[in-house]
Amino acid sequence: MTSHPFGQERPLHPETKTILVGASSGIGAALLQELVRRGHRVAALARRGDLLEENCRQANAAAGMQRAVAYEHDVTDFGTVPALFEQITADLGGLDLIIYVAGVQPPVAAHEYDFAKDHEMVQVNLLGAMAWLNEAASRFTHVRHGQIAALGSVSGDRGRVAFPGYHTSKGALAIYLESLRNRLSRRGVTVTTVKPGFVDTRLLANAAKTFWVISPEEAARQIADAIEARKQVVYVPGRWRWVSLIIQLIPSFIFRRLSI
């Protein structure tokens, strides 16, 4: 990799400098294309380097210039994050926005309690986010500028019966993001929590019933719009907000009897 992988910035055409963690497939891959179309300079990270490189190649070809650069990275390799964060921000020439999309949801049977699967989900969905977003929060605190966004899930709004480990990882992520928001808002930093419903990705295979399914491209468009609007909490699509509100208002003694 060259010392200036993104090329020289054009002063009259400022580009939003963005780190996107989890850009090899699904919503992350679609979001990479969407951000580059909108003029972002994107450092794209993912574990699967071959897919990541191809996604960046496609984004750059569509843009007609080098706006996306791939950085192969496993989000559970927490010890490498501080140095890699510093390298990437130097390569970008600064940082305006970081988005954490990486997530896993292995299949879990109705009466299965598998700590190895739970451990993986907490590592990827929660601890990986904390490792990266803590670095960004520290930087943004000092410069009094920046935006943090991460993908939670509508399934993290309540403890459902289907996937205890997954619901926990996404629910904990939402609490973490709210805490960051409450800390950083007074420093001029925006924190956006994104809660998608059913999106047509490989994770959909784990869902017993689906409805209101949208494409990754549509999800990416709505997420990018919400980030540009500096929203605090956004459901994708927006009608999930009302479904989630109803679910949260169901009394516990009733909710535990429901198969949702």
Q: State the average pLDDT for the chain.
A: 93
Whether 188 shows a pLDDT value over 70: the answer reads yes
Task: Name the CATH superfamily, with its identifier, for domain 17-255.
Answer: NAD(P)-binding Rossmann-like Domain (3.40.50.720)
Kindly report the pTM of this predicted structure. 0.93
**Pick from 138, 141, 172, 142: which is nearest to 155 by CA?**
172
Confidence (pLDDT) at 210: 78
What are residue 6's phi and psi, to 5 degrees?
-90, -5
pLDDT in tens, 136-170: 999 999 999 999 999 999 999 999 888 999 999 99
Which residues fall within 8 angstroms of residue 165, CB to CB, at 6 or more apart?
108, 117, 118, 121, 122
* DSSP code per residue over 91-118: HHTS-SEEEE---------TT---HHHH
pLDDT the model gives residue 12: 55
204 or 223, greater pLDDT: 223
Taking residue 116's Cβ as centre, other Cβ atoms within 10 Å add up to 8
Q: How far apart are CA 102 and CA 207, in angstroms?
A: 19
pLDDT score for 9: 66
Q: What's the confidence (pLDDT) of residue 8?
A: 66
With a cut of 50, say whether residue 203 has pLDDT above it. yes
pLDDT tens per residue, range 99-147: 999 999 999 998 999 999 999 999 999 999 999 999 999 999 999 999 9
Measured over the CA atoms of residue 35, residue 40, residue 46 and residue 52, the dihedral's sign is: positive
Pick from 141-145, 220-224, 247-251: least confident: 247-251
State the average pLDDT over residues 67-76.
98
Query: Which of 79-93, 171-185, 201-215 has the weakest average pLDDT?
Result: 201-215
Please state at what angle helix 128-143 crosses helix 164-184, rounded to 10 degrees. 10
The domain locations on the chain are 17-255
Residue 1 has what pLDDT? 41
Lowest mean pLDDT: which of 73-82, 151-160, 217-226? Answer: 151-160
pLDDT at residue 33 tops 50 = yes
Is the pLDDT at 35 greater than 70, yes or no?
A: yes
Give me the sheet containing 147-151, strands edge to edge: 68-72, 41-46, 17-21, 97-100, 147-151, 190-196, 233-236
What mean pLDDT is predicted for residues 58-70?
96
Residue 5 pLDDT class (50, 70, 90 cuts): confident
* Long-range contacts at 242-246 (CB < 8 A, ≥ 24 apart): 243/154, 243/197, 244/154, 244/157, 244/195
If pLDDT is split at 50, 70 and 90, which confidence band does 11 have?
Answer: low
